[in-house]
Amino acid sequence: MRILVIEDDLEAQRYLVNGLKEAGHVVDDAADGDTGLTLALSRPYDVAIVDRMLPKMDGLDVVSEMREHSNATPVLFLSALSDVDDRVKGLKAGGDDYLTKPYAFVELLARIDALMRRRSPSSVKTRLQVGDLELDLLTRAAKRNGTAIDLQPREFRLLEYLMRHAGQVVTRTMLLESVWEYHFDPQTNVIDVHISRLRAKIDKGFELPLLHTVRGAGYMIRAHA
């Protein structure tokens, strides 16, 4: 995958680029808004990672410009500003996701994966399937191996999010943001408890577990071990 990194903090940029390369991505980098915008408009990228505060041209303006040139590359904002309205501003300018510094690299990777997948038109699906687990988005019914599973509304949304990102790492923060719409750290790991309840409903009594814990990162639902 081709990724564009626009970040003015050179040390942070180096770690970011190295990390992404080690994860198997092809990475271009720019240290200011102008150069970044030129690169973004001249070459196709799967994802752009843009710092919000950049010299020459602000990160928000870079993304607005990209959108004005009908460039639809998914954008992940990085910012040292954590307030809810900073996030809202970022998303309004055309960003697709917003990550506050300091971030965990696994969090960044998971979010990039999610952004790249989003480009494929999977959101129009009315049924999700992972192995023998099926989720009907219209009737809001879950079945595993033909047996109906009774889910609470929130559990359904949790499972839906996991299944939409099947095969990808989903972090606790991503779950908290998309399933509960909270943008704060709840300190105690409440998400883990919700996951273990969901796991008890979908994996208990089956030989092959589907919901896996990814150490140091989050969770993943997948059909094969």
Look at the block and give the residue holding tokens 């980098």.
Answer: 29
Q: Which stretch binds other proteins (CB under 8 A): 10-18, 66-74, 143-151, 161-169?
A: 10-18
Q: Which position among 1, 39, 57, 81 is part of the footprint of other proteins (CB under 8 A)?
A: 81
Q: Which position among 21, 43, 69, 101 is part of the footprint of other proteins (CB under 8 A)?
A: 101
What is the spatial distance between Cα 217 and Cα 213, in angstroms, rounded to a whole number? 8
CB of 105 to other proteins, least distance (A): 5
Q: Does 102 bind other proteins (CB under 8 A)?
A: yes
Q: Does 216 bind other proteins (CB under 8 A)?
A: yes
How buried is 4 (Cβ within 10 angstroms: 0-12 exposed, 13-18 middle, 19+ buried)?
Answer: buried
Q: Which stretch binds other proteins (CB under 8 A): 24-32, 38-46, 84-92, 131-139?
A: 84-92
**Which residues, in sequence order, are bridge partners of residue 147?**
144
Q: Does 83 bind other proteins (CB under 8 A)?
A: yes
Q: Does 82 bind other proteins (CB under 8 A)?
A: yes
Q: Does 217 bind other proteins (CB under 8 A)?
A: no
Q: Which stretch binds other proteins (CB under 8 A): 121-129, 131-139, 163-171, 188-196?
A: 188-196
Structure tokens at 79: 């910012």
- By CB under 8 A, what part of segment 18-47 binds other proteins? 18-19, 22
Give the DSSP letter of residue 29.
E
Q: Does 92 bind other proteins (CB under 8 A)?
A: no
Q: Does 103 bind other proteins (CB under 8 A)?
A: yes
What is the spatial distance between Cα 51 and Cα 95, in angstroms, rounded to a whole number? 11
Instruction: Measure the CA angle with vertex 122, ends 121 and 127; round to 5°.
Output: 145
Would you put residue 146 in left (φ > 0), alpha (ψ -120 to 50) or beta? Answer: left
Q: Which position among 44, 84, 205, 225 is part of the footprint of other proteins (CB under 8 A)?
A: 84
Would you put residue 127 in left (φ > 0), alpha (ψ -120 to 50) or beta? Answer: beta
CB of 191 closer than 8 Å to CB of 208: no
Q: Does 200 bind other proteins (CB under 8 A)?
A: no
**Chain residues in the site for other proteins (CB under 8 A):** 9, 11-12, 15-16, 18-19, 22, 53, 80-85, 88, 100-106, 154, 180, 182-188, 190, 193-194, 197, 216
